[in-house]
Amino acid sequence: MNMDSKSILNGRPALSLKIEQIAEAAGYLWQKGWAERNGGNITVNITEYVDDAIRQLPAICEENPIGLTLPHLKGQYFYCKGTGKRMRDLARYPMDNGSIIRILDDCAHYVIVADQQVMPTSELPSHLLVHNWFLEIGSPYRATLHTHPIELVAMSHNKDFLKKDVLSQLLWSMIPETKAFCPKGLGIVNYQLPGSTILAQSTLKELQEYDVVMWEKHGVFAVDEDIMKAFDQVDVLCKSAQIYISAKNMGFEPDGMSQEQMKEMTIAFHLPK
Ligand code: 2HA
Ligand code: ZN
């Protein structure tokens, strides 16, 4: 990592580890082919790693409007990928390709506090809307991830797969681990303009029921306690999609695990549904 003397990470091992984990996940997104150009976004609530010295840091940019008022985010701190920045660059230099922001007391503006004036992702309002909801309901989730997993996006081009829980059931049935490690399945949001309010609101609605939400013909939005857990949920779903597609490429429809085998799994692993 790029750790020049002015970095906020210096002398803060816990925060450094958190940022290293984000960089590691960004590297995986690139290696997987899920993060072409500046594709995808990461936002992580890092407030628990923020000390008094960070709270005293002056803003290094103007007060910027979020575009929403998010009452639970007052004084919260986030690491955000920078707008236009590439995951493959963030993987090596997270503090050059993302920044740490503070939400101001009006809950409607933010400032950047470290390390540089890297403006946050254009999807900031939708990510913060979700983080606001986590705090509102007392959720332990602190990470939001948007990425473009090839096989899952390909499957979203088929209307039949977009009906409620059709893809969840299909993907769960490809290999037992998928249900164990993505127990709520895959929610669906029909195509909406990237960055739009309707996309953000529809995503928030699906997150009441799912940890991973498919954006039709675009990508997925995943949430969890940390970025690696959010990545893992997408990764197991995508593995199942690859198994399905491999079987189809061999010229047959895969059988999938039977309903009985799925039920046995659900009970053995104490899964919710
Ligand atoms: O920010 O992937 O959908 C890059 C994106 C937006
Ligand atoms: Zn996208």
| pTM of the model as a whole | 0.97
123 is catalytic: yes
Confidence at residue 4, expressed as pLDDT on a 0 to 100 scale: 61
The rounded distance, in Å, linking the Cα atoms of 141 and 259 is 31
Q: What is the mean pLDDT of the chain?
A: 96
Give residue-wise pLDDT tens across range 74-95: 999 999 999 999 999 999 999 9
The answer on pLDDT for 235 being more than 70 is yes
Q: Tell me how far the alpha carbon of residue 84 lies from the centroid of ligand 1, in angstroms.
A: 9
For a substitution probing ligand 1, which of 41, 189, 234 has the most ligand atoms within 8 Å of its CB? 41
The rounded distance, in Å, linking the Cα atoms of 68 and 70 is 6
Mean pLDDT of 250-256: 98
Within the chain, how many helices (H) and strands (E) appear? 10, 9
* Cβ–ligand 1 contact at 40 (below 6 Å): yes
* Cβ–ligand 1 contact at 99 (below 6 Å): no
The answer on pLDDT for 5 being more than 80 is no
The answer on pLDDT for 54 being more than 90 is yes
Helix axes 124-137, 197-207, angle to 10 degrees: 30
The answer on pLDDT for 111 being more than 80 is yes
The answer on pLDDT for 49 being more than 60 is yes
The atom of ligand 1 lying closest to the CA of 218 is 3
Residues of the chain with pLDDT > 70, as a percent, come to: 98
Q: Which helix (H) or strand (E) holds 247?
A: helix 227-249
Q: Tell me how far the alpha carbon of residue 41 lies from the centroid of ligand 1, in angstroms.
A: 6
